[in-house]
Structure 1
Amino acid sequence: MKIAILTQPLRTNFGGILQNYALQTVLKRMGHEPITVDYDCVYPWWRWMLGYFKSLVMRTRHHIQYPHYGRSGQENLNRFIHEKITTTKPEVTITKELLESLHPDAILVGSDQVWSPWCNVPIKYLGNMFLDFWPDFPGKRVAYAASFGGGEWIYTPEQDKLCGELAKKFDAISVREASGVQLCKEYFGVEATHVLDPTLLLTARDYELLLPQQQNETNTLLAYVLDIFPEKVAFLEKVSKKYNLELKIKGANDDISWDDSIEGWLSDIRDAAMVVTDSFHGSVFAIQFHRPFLSIVNKRRGAERFISLLSKLDLEDRLVDDVTTYEPTDSAIDWNEVDTRLVKEREMSMEFLKEALG
């Protein structure tokens, strides 16, 4: 089956790139032919300037190529995308004509925050994620691990009406967070299944095969931080001191370095003595590689995704709700129990995909 995938733009987002890689890998193993629509919005000049000055202040490289369409100029990430993910040529809009040229038997929306209004500006991009550009598409319409970005309903009445009508045309819907099941039922009037993020459909061994070197565990506390502020830095320093670890803070998006890569990011997590992160996918890969970790709840970007995943795996004690009051514990993670739960959840998620595309 030919499957066209719509997801968030493949920019300088390690987790966003890897979730699409994982989903394509799974679909290919199932015998399908997936292709991701490689689109991104065009940045206005002021957005480019903002990113440029930020890069100067933070002493990082600027990755937005203006007036080129909004794809990252980071060579290593682009290399991974081109080598590991099947994509269309770069596009700035999603149209019926574009999708028709791919001759898809199914269109799959997901994963990541594809149904979050905040991640799809202006409204036309949110509508795209419900296939508004092809309302009479004759093939299968499937959402896999779609995320609303949080547990609260933030759609405008206009978005509610448009997306609700289109959601009812889907053949199968699954969501990444447990709260998404209720949101779909209450506001769209459709049933949804709670599934794993695509990155968890693969195993640690699958990711090890991407890495050029064997594990070399370090005495490092890796802090992969999306939103940095003084209180968070103080917390990271406190944790590193408690466990006598060398603190290594790694940024994301415009704050990544020119030499960063998917392989390097995965290796840093795998080889760290401990991981502390406010990133959902940072938490995912700490779990994949069995690294002791703490997940700082990122309320601005959506706390529900952390809570939803860690509660499935009985890891709620790894959540840090407030860095100013949290006290690190010495409790060890029972990785055998985590893996047992993960295998069960993986089987259920794979069953959804098989039935939805069958």
Structure 2
Amino acid sequence: MCELSLPAIRINYKKFDHFYHHEFKRSKKKYTKANFNDVVEEEELIGFVCGSDTIFCIDEFGFDDGFYANYPCMKNGYSVAFAASFGDPHFSKQDYNVLNQRLQNFKAIGLREKAMLNYVREHTSIPVEKVIDPTLLLEPSDYDVITDNRQENDKYLLLYARRYNKAMEDYAVKLAEQNGWKIIEISLRAVNSQKHKMFYEAGVQEFLSLVKYAECVITNSYHGMIFSVQFKKPFYVFSREQCDTKIEELLELFGIKDRLLVTGDEGTANEIDYSDVHARIAQARSKALEFMNYELENGYQGEQ
């Protein structure tokens, strides 16, 4: 409630809520623990896809019954997971016992990172594959449809900070000064409003626009990195607690591990060959869509 009292957060919340209501197919009513088992009949569902993001991260969500398909209607029906992530897992022996039970609720599991891939395969008898983040299942042209027009006439650097990082901010300022760019910043660091153009209130369409038309993106956001790649922008991503594993794995997939910085003093990275990067994404996309089709239609013909 304290956060929602800030004007930028309220505006951002309203924009995202509007997007959800107008772009998503939503259930007829709200379901909670008390009535969740009614959802199959009332919504005429034939199954559940759990995902994506860090739904298996017990540090954040615990063993959530919805995320682990543990409601009776999910356990007794058809439930799969796609692009589920454990984050940076920290399981006790007791946690592993619970996890092993929960994994039996699924008919197939697509994991976003490789850290737990072998473990899940060893403790289930179902197909388990590593798949890419769902935002990479779409191509840049798919996002162009909902991307707003340019938000700023002058050339600018986009600084997108999910958590304050002095080294990242200093690097962004230095880079902007060297190139004569303005800085547009998406963060809640109010003291920067005197020197940067703050834009935390950006909605979905505005956010995509800010990335697409930036001269460069500096971020410690996983999806800030992804959309920089989607729109073929020069970018640097900084280390952030509990996010390094997924960021490093994706940069490895892209073939541009030199884009991950810790202090900003690591030296100048090579220019990004986006023809190679997007060729890598296309191959991973094809494999992920094949597995998704298997999960939805139970007809996967790829490697088990």
**TM over 0.5, shorter chain:** yes
Task: Note if contact 2:80-2:107 (Cα within 8 Å) is conserved in structure 1.
Answer: yes
Task: Note if contact 1:217-1:271 (Cα within 8 Å) is conserved in structure 2.
Answer: no
| Pick aligned residue for 2:246 from 305, 319, 328 | 305
Deviation (angstroms), 1:139: 3.1
Distance 1:73 1:134 in 2: 36
Deviations 1:127-160 (CA, angstroms, capped at 9, x unpaired)? 331111227644322110001112xx31344432
Distance 2:57 2:99 in 1: 11
The size of the alignment, in residue pairs, is: 289
Distance 1:144 1:303 in 2: 21
SS of 2:17's equivalent in the other structure is helix
- 2:220 aligns with 278
Closer, same or farther: CA 175–136 of 1 in aligned 2, 3 Å? closer
Q: Would you say 1:327 and 2:279 are equivalent positions?
A: no
Deviation (angstroms), 1:183: 4.0
Write the letter of the residue equivalent to 2:285: R
TM-score, length-normalised on structure 2?
0.84
Considering only aligned residues, what root-mean-square deviation do their CA atoms show, in Å? 3.0
| Pick aligned residue for 2:286 from 347, 350, 353 | 347
Closer, same or farther: CA 192–263 of 1 in aligned 2, 3 Å? same
- 1:130 aligns with 68
TM-score, length-normalised on structure 1?
0.72
SS of 1:128's equivalent in the other structure is coil
- 2:99 aligns with 163
- 1:114 aligns with 55
Deviations 1:90-148 (CA, angstroms, capped at 9, x unpaired)? 4454732334432321210111111111331xx352x3311112276443221100011
- 2:163 aligns with 227
Distance 1:178 1:304 in 2: 9
Deviation (angstroms), 1:214: 7.0
- 2:136 aligns with 200
Distance 2:189 2:110 in 1: 27
Deviation (angstroms), 1:218: 5.0
Closer, same or farther: CA 220–253 of 1 in aligned 2, 3 Å? closer
Distance 1:135 1:174 in 2: 21
Deviations 1:41-61 (CA, angstroms, capped at 9, x unpaired)? xxxxxxx34x368x4xxxx44
Q: Percent same amino acid among aligned pairs?
A: 21
Deviations 1:296-315 (CA, angstroms, capped at 9, x unpaired)? 121x2321111111111101
SS of 2:174's equivalent in the other structure is helix
Deviation (angstroms), 1:343: 1.0
